[in-house]
Amino acid sequence: MNLSSQLAYISAVICGLICAVYLILTLMGKRRSIARWAFGASMAILCVEGVLTGFSTAALRAEQFLYWQQTRLVVLSFLPGTWILFSLTYARGSTRKFLHAWRYVLIATFAIPALLATFYGDSYILFRQLQGDGQITVLLGWPGQASHFLMILGSVLSMMNLERTYRAAVGAMRWQVKYILLGLGTLFLVRFYTSSQAFLFANAHTGMDTINSIGLIVSSLLIIRALSRRGHFDIELYPSHAVLSNSLTILVAGIYLLSVGVLAKLAALIGGDIAFPLKALGVLVALVLLATLLQSDHFRLNIKQFVSRHFKRPMHDYRTVWKRFTEESASHVHQPDLCEGLSKLIAETFDSHSVNLWLFENERAKLNLAASTAPTDSAPNTINLPSDTLHRLKAQYAQSNRPVDLDKSKDDWTQYLRDANPKKFSHGGHRICIPITVSDSILGLIVVGDRVSGIPFTEPEFDILNSIGTHAASSLLNLQLSGKLVETRELEAFQTMATFFVHDLKNAASTLNIMVKNLPTHWDNSEFRKDALRGISKTGDRINDIIGRLSTVRNEIEVDLKPLGLDLFAKSIINTWQAPENTEFVTNFESDAIAKIDREQLGKVLLNLMINASEAMEDGGRIEVSTAVNEKYALLSVYDNGCGMSQEFINKKLFRPFQTTKQRGLGIGMFQSKMIIDAHGGRFEVESQEGKGSTFRVLLPIEKEG
């Protein structure tokens, strides 16, 4: 048995053991997630692939070698699908959304290998060639190249998804997932390299199989290391749906493929190197070790301390820290999002795995967990403080806003926080409690613990934490005050709406009451009965109109835009309206422009403007409807010489709901009209002077000139 066969069998045994362990844990555990099954399936496929690789490299006859290699490629072609499925579901709390978004990719990665294996199972490899160094090179058919292309695609997409997962993890969650992501990243990187070589040159040799076996052993050791960190399969992260162009994986993969193509051409020109795969493997191992070192929290923290100690540089750039926290506070309008963002930022800034942010409830005797970077089922989410304990806590921070070391403090209130913020790492150092205070009021507490290497906080860091607590308090207070202001305005709007609504309903009810009182007396009068029916019908229409117009305050306007000549539209709407007898009505159509118009909705706007113009003239006057066109817009104008409006009313109240100058108006007409014009992509222009009249001008984008 040669070395290549031995390495292949060793990798198969390790993968088989990992698969068995994870499947046993899955069956014994309460949570049987898709990620666990996908991971187990991937390990099983790699185990089978290792066995088939060992069989092929140990084969004595060419027919046996080709058979085992071809079978290996068929089995391996199903691996990208399981990889992508795992990367979409591992450590994610919104797996259904990701699976739905990637459903076509998943179907393709499983369906294409099945079709290739069914119809072209004997065309993966064309022939083999024995080289002088004892290695065997095989020429790949197009199904074999397609299999390697799927491997490249699966490796890149899986690394991209795991990169998102790693970016979303913070604190203890990043500590839990780090080694399994490094192990799988190593595996994907090796397969990406070997498959890209096979795909670019349409051939593969046994040296690449050796690299795959060694890479699989290295990645398996990292995955075994991840077994010691319990709970890494139970984490729920919510990474953003970033576009592919924002992924570092895509950029690196593209640069690599371009570089390999150029280097391959150079190697072909100046002569090949039989040790090239081993050199590439050495570079790969070095990159993996460097990536592991750079991702080590201990290493990064030691570098910071070394620079601070020997070059007199502070551990933190205060301007950068303050800028980041200011931007984070300003980017959220909801309290839960703000608390989560602040806790993650504190964890990243101070290299702490556990940051818990607690907020007082209204009664001020209960603390609720608002955000945490290290959630745990064993710790409570609520702390009930006795009144005397709460008093001592407030007295502690009334004297000084300095953060308190919970593990050194002997105060009774600190015991409640120690129980609710347990240590996850024995070497994580002391837990620090930072007050969230503004003026003389305390809004909550921030508990920072499980710091990398247990490094104690310095005095400058205490100052930063103190400032962060004050800054968080001001941001939280602003959100709370903004919420109360919104509630007050909503109540005010409701009261205003109710006033108008009740007023109009009262008038309608009065009309109906008068009719009911007169019915017994005039029931035999047929003319009275006809008038009563007409009055009831008008009252019902009035009530329905009130309800319909009120509904526009809370509903968005939907428009069905179609090209229509503005002059033709205006004439058709004017023909449906009768101006009052004492009003001079004039039209002036000078536009041949065509705009995208919803005839029904825009007709409401024009009718509303003409009715408003007539009601603005108590003793009659002049109304002029005109059209015009400029380079960008078609203009529809309604002019009246009525009472006019003040500039202050135009600027502050004209387009707001429930603001009106009419005695019987609801103040909804212009609000609704502006919503309709906005939906058309247009705008209003208003010119008015008190006692001289008003001009309302509607500007609509031109569709085309006809």
Domain containing residue 138: CATH number: 1.20.1070
Of the candidates 234, 250, 266, which is a domain's last residue? 250
Please check whether residues 241 and 108 belong to one and the same domain: yes
Per-residue pLDDT tens for 573-632?
888 787 887 888 899 887 778 888 888 888 888 988 888 888 888 778 899 999 998 878
Is the same domain home to 431 and 442?
A: yes
653-689 burial: b if 16+ Cβ within 10 Å, else e? bbbebbbbeeeebbbbbbbbbbbbbebbebebeeebe
pLDDT of 509? 72
Domain shared by 14 and 45, yes or no: yes
How do residues 143-186 score in pLDDT, each as one tens digit? 888 888 888 888 888 888 887 777 777 666 677 777 888 888 88
Tens-digit pLDDT profile for residues 193-202: 888 888 877 8
How sure is the predictor about 309, in pLDDT bands with cuts at 50, 70 and 90? low
| Cα four-point dihedral sign 411, 412, 417, 418 | positive
More confidently predicted of 366 and 250: 366
* Share of the chain residues as helix, strand and coil, in percent rounded to the nearest 5: 60, 15, 25
Q: Which of 231, 250, 269 is the last residue of a domain?
A: 250
338 and 194, same structural domain?
Answer: no
Higher pLDDT, residue 371 or 270: 371
Q: What is the pLDDT of residues 211-253, one digit of tens each?
A: 888 888 988 888 888 777 665 555 555 554 443 334 555 545 5
Q: What pLDDT was estimated at residue 244?
A: 38
pLDDT at 633: 87
Give, as one character, the DSSP assignment of residue 530.
H
**Is 308 within the bounds of a domain?**
no
User: What is the mean predicted confidence (pLDDT) over 401-426?
Assistant: 85
At 463, the pLDDT band (50, 70, 90 cuts) reads confident
In the chain, what percentage of residues exceed pLDDT 70? 76
Paired tokens of 151 = 């491997």
Q: Looking at the 3D structure of the chain, how many domains does it have?
A: 4
Q: Which of 484, 499, 517 lies at the terminal end of a domain, its last residue?
A: 484
The answer to the question of residue 82 being in a domain is yes
* 233 and 104 co-located in one domain: yes
Average pLDDT, the chain: 78
Rounded to the nearest 5 degrees, what angle is found at the Cα of 489, between the Cα atoms of 486 and 492?
A: 150
**Residue whose C-alpha is closest to residue 144's, from 114, 130, 123:** 123
Instruction: Kindly state the average pLDDT of the residues 420-440.
Output: 84
Residues 400 and 498 in one domain: no
Query: Does 530 map to a domain?
Result: yes
Residues 346 and 469 in one domain: yes
Within a domain: residue 283? no
Give one word for 704, left, alpha or beta, with left for phi > 0 and alpha for psi -120 to 50: beta
Statement to judge: residues 505 and 630 lie in one domain: no
- Confidence band of 546 (pLDDT split at 50, 70, 90): low
287, part of any domain: no
CA max distance for the chain: 122
Contact 519, 532 (CB under 8 A): yes
User: Residue 285: pLDDT above 60?
Assistant: no
Strands 404-405 and 382-384: unpaired
Cα gap 659→667, rounded to integer Å: 5
**Residue 688 belongs to domain with CATH number:** 3.30.565.10
Phi, psi of 31 (to 5 degrees): -105, 110
Domain contains 268: no
**Mean pLDDT across the stretch 275-295?**
54
Averaged pLDDT for residues 536-546: 74
pLDDT in tens, 242-252: 433 345 555 45
What is the Cα–Cα distance from 698 to 706, expressed in whole angstroms? 20
Question: Is 188 found in the same domain as 63?
Answer: yes
What number of other Cβ atoms are within 10 A of residue 393's Cβ?
23
404-405 β-sheet, strand order:
382-384, 366-372, 352-360, 441-451, 432-438, 404-405
Q: What pLDDT was estimated at residue 637?
A: 92
Residue 209 counted as domain residue: yes
Q: Do 491 and 480 fall within a single domain?
A: no
Q: Looking at the DSSP assignment, which residues form a beta bridge with residue 201?
A: none
pLDDT for res 239: 55
Q: Does residue 680 carry a pLDDT above 70?
A: yes
Other CB atoms within 10 Å distance of the CB of residue 429: 20
Residue 529 and residue 428 in one domain: no
Is 543 a member of any domain? yes
Number of other CB atoms surrounding residue 251 within 10 Å: 12
- Residues 204, 333 share a domain: no
Res. 129 pLDDT band, cuts 50 70 90: low
Q: Could you tell me the CATH number of the domain that includes residue 432?
A: 3.30.450.40
Q: Residue 130 above 50 pLDDT?
A: yes
> What is the SS3 assignment for 451?
strand
Residue 184 pLDDT: 85
Decide if pLDDT at 638 tops 90. Answer: yes
Give the mean model confidence (pLDDT) for residues 44-65: 85
Expressed as residue numbers, the domain containing 539 is 486-551
**What tens digit of pLDDT does each residue of 312-337 get?**
556 667 778 888 888 888 888 888 88
498 φ, ψ (degrees, to nearest 5): -65, -35
Q: What is the value of pTM for the model shown?
A: 0.47
